[in-house]
Amino acid sequence: MRSSYWSCSSFANIIRGAPKPGVLSAEGWGHWKRKAKIARPFRFWLAETGLDSIQNFINFPTDCLYAIKYYINNRWVSRTHSLTAHPRDICPGNWCDVGSRFLPCLFNELVDFVEIEQAWSHIAWGEKADRAKYNAPFWATGWFRWRVWRSPQAGLDHLNWAMSLKLDGDWVEKDNPDYGKPTSQAIRAQEIKELYTWWTVTYRNRPDAYDESGWTNYCEATRAENGGDLWGSLGADKTPELKEISNRSHTLLEEIKAAYEAEDTEMLIRLIKIRDGLWT
């Protein structure tokens, strides 16, 4: 991906005879292109098509090297052809059913999107001082970039910036009822941040269902009554107290597990609904 295009340069503005706007809506870009093309058709072609063709010819060797580098990066480093899970969620070598892979794989990819892709966007398009602020290495940006640099704070700061975007005069007229409201990018950034926070904070700190329900304590009490043999105690007669603990804790255990599963499903659905916004 090039950092600059000749058709977007000041030189292109001189050739075209009309400066290229910074930010416009799709409708605004269409109006500008039609107006500029009608006013100076040859100069418009030269600035928009001619300069790009010359740049493509001159940069052909570099573009080939860049394509090879990113094939290697995508294939063996960031592995953008696959969904992956962190070893703490699915231990390599252990069996994991397909249905149990969805949650960790998808949310681990969301974490990578925020901490790697959004972090890169924040320093690539931000101020030069941001690289020093987040202690970014030389291979975090530019031609030598490899998608392995990770910065949770830079990713969150980028989302916070995106969440602040409002529909202003560059997008709608001041009398438009949507003027001053969050942009679609801001709304997506808010949802991404909430899902990221749920997975990295809320989900990680959910109480263990077996401990919270009292089932762990019940198992310990049963083991103690049978000389430390839990499995041998399963068919043994239980005291009324243990029976009461068993029934109560088992009921609560099932309620907690059902609540966790419902929460996981809700978050997966929310993640799927914003998948079109997960791009860099």
Give residue 88's pLDDT band: very low, low, confident or very high (50, 70, 90).
Answer: very high
Q: Could you give the count of Cα atoms lying within 13 Å of 68 in the half-sphere of its Cβ?
A: 5
The residue type of 60 is: F
Structure tokens given for 203? 């989900």
How many other CB atoms are found less than 10 A from the CB of residue 232?
Answer: 12
Across the strands, what pairs with 166?
182
Which residue in 127, 123, 121 sits closest to 185, CA to CA?
121
The pLDDT of residue 52 is 93
The pLDDT of residue 206 is 97
> Which residues, in sequence order, are CB contacts of 17 under 8 Å at separation 6+?
36, 39, 40, 43
Which residue in 23, 46, 21 sits closest to 33, CA to CA?
21
Structure tokens given for 62? 């570099």
pLDDT, mean over the chain? 90
Across the strands, what pairs with 182?
166
Distance CA 13, CA 6 (A): 10
Higher pLDDT, 79 or 191: 191
Structure tokens given for 198? 């749920």
Run of H or E residues at 47: none
Phi then psi for 99, rounded to 5 degrees?
A: -60, -25
The pLDDT of residue 235 is 52
Structure tokens given for 188? 């997506």
The pLDDT of residue 233 is 54
- Max CA distance (Å), the chain: 95
| Mean of pLDDT values over 245-257 | 93
The pLDDT tens digits of the residues spanning 163-186 come to 999 999 877 888 999 999 999 999
The pLDDT of residue 112 is 96
Lowest mean pLDDT among 150-159, 166-175, 204-213, 246-255: 166-175
Give residue 95's pLDDT band: very low, low, confident or very high (50, 70, 90).
Answer: very high
The residue type of 125 is: W
The pLDDT of residue 210 is 95
- pLDDT > 70: percent of the chain: 93
Task: Report the predicted TM-score, pTM, of the whole model to 2 decimal places.
Answer: 0.81
